[in-house]
C-alpha cells in the first residue's frame, strides 16, 4: 500500500471547465517542484493530450467497467509510488453514467473538487454544490471552485453561498487567454494548438492568484492482487512486429493499449500516413487507430505509397485492425460535413459520411471468437456498405446502438475503440499472424 495526495476534479456537467482547471492545477503544482500524475475518467482521447502537456507525464484512462477495478488499482498504485500528487479529471457530470466519476471516487476513496461554471449565477452556486455533495451518500466533496467568475464581488457572493461544510477552493476568472478550442468529438488536439503551453500557464497563474492551493489529503492506494492483475505474462505477441499509424489523422491511441502490446511481447513500429510513409515491410500486423481522417482526406487520398502498402499488407493475409477513423479510411470514399467527397483506400466496399451531429456514443463490449473485449464508441459518421457484418457489439446502455463488426480474411474493422487491457489474450489472437 502506498499513500499519495489525490483529488478528483468533477463538475455538474460537461463544458464546465474541468480540463482547464485540472491542467492548471497540474501545471501549478509542477511549477512548485512536485511530480504530478493525471488520469482521465472514462474513454476520452483528447483531454489526456492537454493534460499530458500540463503534467509532463503520461495520462491513462480510469474506467471501472471498461478496464476493471484491478486494472485501475494497478495504474493508481504505480503512479502513487512515483509522484507527489495524483489528479483525476472526471467525465461529464459527477453522477452521470453507470461507471460514473462518483463511483470511481467512492471506490478508491478520492476526495472530490467540484468545478462549476458560475457565469450568470449567484446563490444558486451553493445549491448546486449542496446537491452534488448530498445526492449520493458516502461521497467526500472536498471543496468547490467557481469557473468563469466576472469580478471579486461575484467571487465573494459565490463563496458566501456555500454550505459551511464545503470548502471554498477558489475561483478562475473569465479570460479568453486560457480558453481551450473545441470541435466535433471534443477539444482540438493538443498538437494543433500552437500556444497551448502559454494557455495552460496563464490558467495556472490565474488559479494560483485566486485560490488557496495546497496538497489534498493523502489517499492509500493498494496494488491489485496477483489473481486480479492482467495476464499479460503469456507474451502472446513475442517476436511480432506491429505497424501503428500515428499522426494528426490517426491519433486516438490509448497509452494502456500501447503498453499492453509491449507487455505481450510485440515490437511497435510507428509510421505516418499523412507523411506518405509506407506500412513498414517488416510488420506482421497493422493497427489503424481512430482520429480525424476526414480532416485530412485530400492529403491521404494523394499519398500513393501509404495506400499501396496497406493494400499489399492486406493482400498478404496479415492482420489489420481498424477502429473508427481507421475504418473510415478503409472505405471507398469519405464525405465530410461540408459535402466534399474524397476517395479513400477502398479495402471495404461502400462510403463513409460525416453527419455533423452525434451518431453513437457509449460503452460497448464485443463477444469475439477470440474472447470478449470492452471499449467504447463515439462518432459523427455513418457508413453505407453492402458488406455483411460478422457480428455486432453489445452496448452497455439501452439508448446506444450496436456497432457493426466487419471481418474479411484477417481484417477487423468497427466504429468501436477496443480497450486492449480488458482482454489481452483476445487482442493477442487478433494481431498474431
> Would you name the residues annotated as active-site residues?
324
Residue 427's H or E segment, with its range, is helix 424-431
Q: Name the H helices within 56-121.
A: 69-80, 101-108
Query: What size, in residues, is the chain?
Result: 433
Q: For residues 39 and 76, is the Cβ–Cβ distance under 8 A?
A: yes
Which residue in the block uniquely carries the three cell numbers 468545478? Answer: 115
Please answer whether residues 307 and 271 qualify as being in contact, where contact means their C-beta atoms are separated by less than 8 angstroms.
no
Q: How far is CA 38 from CA 30, 193, 206, 223, 307, in A?
A: 11, 20, 20, 18, 37
Structural contact between residues 101 and 9, judged by C-beta atoms closer than 8 angstroms:
no
The beta-strand segments (E) located in 188-330 are 218-221, 241-245, 267-271, 285-288, 320-323
- At residue 11, the 3 state secondary structure works out as coil
SS3 content of the chain, % helix, strand, coil (to 5): 30, 30, 40
- What is the spatial distance between Cα 58 and Cα 76, in angstroms, rounded to a whole number? 13
Amino acid at each position: 500500500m502506498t499513500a499519495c495526495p489525490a483529488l478528483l476534479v468533477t463538475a455538474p456537467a460537461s463544458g464546465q471547465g474541468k480540463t482547464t482547471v485540472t491542467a492548471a492545477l497540474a501545471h501549478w503544482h509542477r511549477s512548485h517542484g512536485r511530480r504530478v500524475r493525471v488520469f482521465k475518467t472514462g474513454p476520452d482521447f483528447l483531454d489526456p493530450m492537454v493534460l499530458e502537456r500540463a503534467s509532463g507525464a503520461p495520462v491513462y484512462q480510469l474506467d471501472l467497467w471498461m478496464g476493471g477495478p484491478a486494472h485501475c488499482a494497478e495504474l493508481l498504485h504505480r503512479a502513487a509510488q512515483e509522484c507527489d500528487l495524483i489528479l483525476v479529471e472526471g467525465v461529464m457530470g459527477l453522477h452521470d453514467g453507470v461507471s460514473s466519476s462518483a463511483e470511481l471516487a467512492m471506490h478508491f476513496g478520492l476526495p472530490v473538487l467540484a468545478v462549476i461554471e458560475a457565469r450568470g449565477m449567484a446563490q444558486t452556486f451553493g445549491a448546486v454544490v449542496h446537491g452534488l455533495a448530498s445526492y449520493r451518500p458516502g461521497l467526500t466533496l472536498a471543496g468547490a471552485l467557481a469557473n468563469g467568475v466576472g469580478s471579486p464581488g461575484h467571487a465573494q457572493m459565490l463563496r458566501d453561498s456555500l454550505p459551511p461544510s464545503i470548502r471554498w477552493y477558489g475561483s478562475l476568472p473569465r479570460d479568453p487567454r486560457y480558453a481551450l478550442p473545441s470541435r466535433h468529438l471534443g477539444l482540438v488536439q493538443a498538437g494543433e494548438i500552437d500556444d497551448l503551453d502559454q494557455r495552460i500557464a496563464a490558467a495556472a497563474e490565474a488559479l494560483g492568484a485566486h485560490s488557496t492551493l495546497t496538497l489534498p489529503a493523502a489517499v492509500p492506494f493498494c496494488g491489485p492482487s496477483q489473481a486480479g492483475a492482467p495476464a499479460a505474462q503469456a507474451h502472446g505477441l513475442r517476436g511480432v512486429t506491429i505497424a501503428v499509424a500515428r499522426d494528426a489523422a490517426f491519433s486516438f491511441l490509448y497509452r494502456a493499449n500501447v503498453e499492453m502490446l509491449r507487455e505481450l511481447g510485440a515490437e511497435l513500429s510507428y509510421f505516418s500516413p499523412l507523411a506518405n510513409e509506407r506500412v513498414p515491410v517488416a510488420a506482421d500486423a497493422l493497427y489503424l487507430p481512430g482520429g480525424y481522417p476526414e480532416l485530412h482526406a485530400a492529403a491521404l487520398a494523394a499519398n500513393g505509397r501509404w495506400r499501396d502498402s496497406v493494400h499489399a499488407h492486406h493482400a498478404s493475409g496479415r492482420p489489420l485492425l481498424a477502429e473508427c477513423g481507421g475504418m473510415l479510411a478503409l472505405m471507398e470514399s469519405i464525405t465530410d460535413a461540408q459535402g466534399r467527397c474524397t476517395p479513400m483506400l477502398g479495402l471495404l466496399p461502400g462510403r463513409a459520411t460525416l453527419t455533423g451531429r452525434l451518431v453513437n456514443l457509449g460503452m460497448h463490449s464485443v463477444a469475439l471468437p477470440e474472447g470478449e473485449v470492452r471499449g467504447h464508441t463515439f462518432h459523427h459518421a455513418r457508413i453505407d456498405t453492402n458488406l455483411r457484418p460478422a457480428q455486432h457489439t453489445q452496448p452497455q446502455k439501452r439508448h446506444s446502438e450496436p456497432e457493426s463488426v466487419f471481418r474479411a480474411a484477417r481484417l477487423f474493422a468497427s466504429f468501436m475503440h477496443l480497450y486492449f487491457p480488458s482482454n489481452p489474450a483476445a487482442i493477442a489472437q487478433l494481431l498474431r499472424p
